Every structure is written in C-alpha cells, then in structure tokens.
Structure 1
C-alpha cells in the first residue's frame, strides 16, 4: 500500500521492479493535486484507489490509510499488508520478502521514550488543513481548546499510543481497524502516528527485541542524521549491509539509482 505524491515516481517504479512478483501486488494512492503516475510491472498487479487531497498532519492521511486497507480487504487473498511511501525503497529482494513476511506476526512500532502528551492530538479539535510551519496558529488553536475545556477523550477508555506511520501487518487485523469507532480520530493533529498504535495496542510486545520503534516496524529510518535522513549515493554500502536482514524498507530516498546500486 503506497501513499505518494509529486511528479517524480521513479523511486516507486524501481521499488516495484525489485519486488515484482506474482505474490506481491501494489495498491497506490496518489495525491489528487498531482497527475497519476504511469507505473508498470511484469508480474505484480498495480491498483490505484480514488485520490483525495492530502495535507501534512491532517486526518486525511488516516483516511488514505483506511481507504487502502479497505481496498486490500476486498481482494481477500493476501496474508500481509505493508504501508510505504513513494519515497521508500525495499531492503529485501522479492523472494526474501515473501519468505520473511509469512503472516505469522505483524510489525508495528511503538514509541516509549518520549514524554510528550500525545493525547492532545485527538483530545482537542484541529482543522482539516495543514499546520506545518504554522507554530503561532497551532498554539492559538491549542489555547482555544484549553479555554473552552475541550476533551473528546472524556468518558472514553481510549489509551493513546504513538509510533511510526509505516507498518507491515497481518491482514486478519484489517477488520478490527476498519470496524473500530474512529470518531475521535477525525479533526485531529498528526493522527497518522497514533491511530494504528491505539487500535492495535496489544501488539506492543516486542520492545526488547528491537532497537527502536522503526526497527519494530521493520523499517530502516535514521532520525539522528535528518528529519528523517535522506539516503544518498554515499550510503549504498551501508544499505547493502542491511539488505535481506530484518528491514523491509528504508526511508527516505529520492534517487532511484540508489536502489539499483544496492541491488546491483
């Protein structure tokens, strides 16, 4: 399942080339603001779902994920559902990928080292437009919610969990996600890092078996060198060392030649 945008889709096309297989299909949402990419595959099927406008930090990102999960559910033939962006690259070849994700477990990351109160993201009402780089407006909206004593979590038993947006889950969890009462998750802020972890809180069992929440989700992401770090040509040897190990995808990549070089 791919969330993509922009006019350059070469990274996604190269990802498809690497994972192209009769057992791997692609469900793509491309932001409505941009022209749908012309993607091709020899063996994999490529499905496009209806496009909507996606705003950073808004509940539209959650809606896209739900739409993708709904599309996957209708086929009733997959063991696993993986969420990636069009700026992710595979770190497994197709044979290793299929054997590794055999449906026996799910990969979802949970954050435990941050002391922030993430419940504010759904406890208060937030606009449906992006607040990226709008710190003053964000603070004003926060104060307005506090002034009017807004608390959408009051009289609920929701325990808010947080983690990375990207995941690889068994498809038998999709009904549980789609059927969950998500009214509190709309009109929210950065809910894409919250709603899956909150709904599937019982999957938070592998803390000691992963270096961080991204590793739990089988993703190779570096937040120390960037926000996140964008891998470049000088990182090819680093990426080769983690190829066909425990990481399904690396994020973030903007040059498709990196994928070609990692996979020779």
Structure 2
C-alpha cells in the first residue's frame, strides 16, 4: 500500500474532494489546522475517505507547528505496516495524472523524491537561509505574515547578527550539514522510518528546528542528506509550481492557462489548486486522464 499525507488548513470541501479522488488508490491521512472551521457533515466525510484524521495544531506559516503536524501525520501513517511508500502534499495540491498511474509508478521504485540544497548556499528574500536556522525565532506565537511580524523578523535578524548568535555552534552542528528544500516529498518507508527515529534520538536537532524559521523545509532534508539515503534522492519532485504572483497568490493559483505546460511536462502533483479559479483546469485534466470525481 501507499499513503498520501495531506496537510490542510482551508477549503474543506476541496480537501474532501482531493482525499476522495486519491482514496481510490491510496490510504489517506489528513491533518487539518486546528483553527479551521469544519462542520460535522464535513468531518464525517473526511473520516469516511481517510484512514486517519488529526486536528491538533494551530499551524502558522513559517512556524515549528508545521513540523509537529507533519511528524504526527507520518507516525500515524507508519502504524500501518503495509504502507510502503508515503506522499506528503498540501490540501491545495492536486494530482496531475490519474491516481492509479501515480500509484503504479511508485510500486517500482525505492527512490526518494525530494529537492534539496545546502542552506549556506542560498539567499531568500535577501537573507542567507542559514540565518533561519542559526538564529532564534518564535513564529508559533508571532504571526510572521502580519506587518508587525515582518518588522519583528527584521529586528530579530539585526539584533542576532550584531550579537553574533549561533545556535548551531551551541549544539555542535556544522552549518554545512544543514540542508533545505520544498516540504512536499515522496519517500519510501525505510527512509521515513530512519528519519523519524533519528530525529527522536537526536534532541539537539529538535532544539534547533523548534526555534527556527521555516524548519518544515529543512528537518527532513537535513537528516536524509547526511545519511546513506542521500544517494537515493531524486531532486526532481515532479511538482508543477508557478512561483509567480497570480490570482492574488504566490505561488500562483493554477488555471486553464497552465494546462499546456502541465501535459507537456513530467508532473505528478500540481500546486496551488483552488476552486472555483481552477475549475476549468480540473475539467481539462479529468478529460485527459479519464479520471473524474470519485463517487
């Protein structure tokens, strides 16, 4: 069996539809943001199409709560010993080919699909990404995306740079050993079991990532890229993502204009999809794959 792990925070009906479509081939596990509004009817539908449902964490962008929700979801899916491969996606992702075709591909590989890069080599929004790990942040309490949060972030960087804070040095971790990448991954059981056990037995890593910024994009990459599993990693994650501003969102919300690029490429998953903006794109994909909504 293969499992799809869905981290969701809004558009509950779309999450239900996504889970329903995928449940034809996969076991589905869902974490829904604790602050999300959900009706009893929606809850029953999620439970019906999933093998596990969690709504434990009030997830904030860039905060450690995302890592906590992800790890709990992984542990839940690992309880079923028959699950041999695991796909982590968001509630705004969408299959770009039939679930059966995606499932069939992963029946014949033990590769890890996870992009990565050394955190010391990259700048994001003008900041060295390694700062997000070596300095201290508390975005489980502060909303990073508010105006106050943005000012607060700049002050944290300034003060800790002046004070020469280095959390990594404190815990005996070399900067070159920290890797980053997109959170969305496809990972076989042996690698995922290794990562969870390693994280649980190396508390310094938890101390580092629990006070970092965007650690959801670093914890798994750091563990697997410093292990024997690195040789099995494919950096092409086969996700179609447009990192531009469109429909008031970055990454862009996908629509019918993206269809030709999707079908001419080699993609399993698309991000971001939102109804009703993405309605026509979904119809075109359904027609191409003969994979309509599951009843």
Regarding TM over 0.5, the answer is: yes
SS at structure 1 position matched to 2:101:
helix
- 1:178-217 paired onto structure 2 within 5 Å: 178-179=196-197, 180=199, 181=202, 182-201=206-225, 202=227, 216-217=236-237
Which structure's residues are more often helix, by fraction?
Answer: 2
Residue number in structure 1 paired with 2:168: 153
- 1:202-241 paired onto structure 2 within 5 Å: 202=227, 216-224=236-244, 227-241=250-264
Residue number in structure 1 paired with 2:132: 121
Cα distance in 1 for residues equivalent to 2:241 and 2:162 = 38
Aligned length: 253
- 1:14 Cα offset (Å): 3.0
Q: Quick check: 1:49–1:71 contact (8 Å CA) kept in 2?
A: no
Give the aligned CA root-mean-square deviation in angstroms.
2.7
Describe the shift of the 1:39–1:198 C-alpha distance in structure 2 as closer, same or farther (beyond 3 A): farther
Please list the CA deviations of residues 163-217 of structure 1 after superposition, one character each: whole Å capped at 9, or x if unmatched. Answer: 111111012122222222222111111111111111111555589x7xxx5xx12
TM-score, scaled to structure 2: 0.76
Cα distance in 1 for residues equivalent to 2:72 and 2:190 = 16
TM-score, scaled to structure 1: 0.84
Q: Quick check: 1:12–1:89 contact (8 Å CA) kept in 2?
A: no
Q: Which moved more, 1:144-153 or 1:111-120?
A: 111-120
Cα distance in 2 for residues equivalent to 1:198 and 1:42 = 33
- 1:1-264 paired onto structure 2 within 5 Å: 1-6=5-10, 8-21=11-24, 23-36=25-38, 37-38=42-43, 40=45, 45-102=50-107, 103-111=109-117, 115-116=122-123, 117-127=128-138, 128=140, 129-133=142-146, 134-154=149-169, 155-157=172-174, 159-179=177-197, 180=199, 181=202, 182-201=206-225, 202=227, 216-224=236-244, 227-242=250-265, 246-255=266-275, 257=279, 258-264=281-287
Q: Quick check: 2:6–2:88 contact (8 Å CA) kept in 1?
A: yes
- Higher RCO (CA-CA < 8 Å; seq separation 6+): 1
Describe the shift of the 1:73–1:38 C-alpha distance in structure 2 as closer, same or farther (beyond 3 A): same
Unaligned ranges ≥5, structure 2: 288-295
Unaligned ranges ≥5, structure 1: none
SS at structure 2 position matched to 1:169:
strand
Cα distance in 2 for residues equivalent to 1:225 and 1:39 = 35
